[in-house]
Amino acid sequence: MCGRFTLTVDPAELQDAFGDYIFPDQFAPRFNIAPSQPVLAIPNNGKNTADFFMWGLIPSWSKDPSIANKLINARGETIAEKPSFRGGFKYKRCLILTDGFYEWKAVQGEKTKTPYFIHMKDRKPFAFAGLWDEWQSPDGGALRTCTIITTEPNELMSTLHNRMPVILDSADYSQWLDPAPRTPESLLPLIRSFPADRMSAYPVSTMVNSPGNDRAECVLPV
């Protein structure tokens, strides 16, 4: 699964990495983004503009918004079949912007798992494959939410966990963000493990275990 990630770069760096898209003029760096919090994402609505979505999908047809707590991730292997995800996979896809994420490794003989920070070797920002939706609350308010798609781990991630987020290659952004409905057959080839040789990981402090700790020390190696 993917349960925590970061977006620490400034808007200018993000613009350099994603030149074809429009970003907010400013936003605070985030070192420990957790479910139910806002995340910066680009939806496939044809505007190529990033905005903030709540992490944890609430399908538009859901009567209970607490379902978001169970839908922070979507398994890529069943995404075209599960009722919560198949509509979004066809119609509502997004890029979820990040520059790193955390995973916890079980260590034999230790009660506490060791958190690791995973990032690109070139330290540039990248994008998770995501789905989004818009939910209407009973009082008429609209809430836009999203989920991160996961897949089998690559060689690096398999040493830490049995799942990893789907990281899209920049060449696939336009296909993923196509506003037109897409068939599963055209999109499933994008649901794959990212090359391990382009990624790196190192252990960090257990301070990241608490979502209340959102500061630069979270990503420092230990």
Q: What is the pLDDT of residues 88-133, one digit of tens each?
A: 999 999 999 999 999 999 988 888 899 999 999 999 999 999 999 9
218 is catalytic: no
pLDDT for 143 = 96
Q: Quick one: pLDDT band at residue 139, thresholds 50, 70, 90? A: confident
pLDDT above 90: residue 168:
yes
Q: What's the pLDDT score for residue 110?
A: 83
Given 2, 94, 146, 218, the catalytic residue: 2
Q: Mind listing the domains of the chain with CATH numbers?
A: 5-219 (3.90.1680.10)
Cβ atoms of 7 and 99 closer than 8 Å: yes
The whole-model pTM stands at 0.97
Residues 187, 190: Cα–Cα separation, whole Å: 6
For 56-82, the pLDDT digits (tens) are: 999 999 999 999 999 999 999 999 999
pLDDT above 70: percentage of residues in the chain:
100
Give the pLDDT score at 76.
98
Q: What is the pLDDT of residue 31?
A: 98
Distance between start and end Cα atoms, the chain: 23
Given the residues 13, 81, 103, 134, select the one marked as catalytic: 103
Q: Cα(125)–Cα(217) distance, rounded to whole angstroms?
A: 19
What region does 29 belong to: left with phi over 0, alpha with psi -120 to 50, or beta?
A: beta
The residue ranking higher by pLDDT, 112 or 145, is 145
- Residues 128-148 have a mean pLDDT of 95
Residues in CB range of 112: below 8 A, 6 or more apart: 206
Comparing CA positions, the residue from 133, 192, 1, 18 lying closest to residue 9 is 18
Task: Determine the 3-state secondary structure of 146 from DSSP.
Answer: strand
Per the annotation, the verdict on 155 as an active-site residue is no
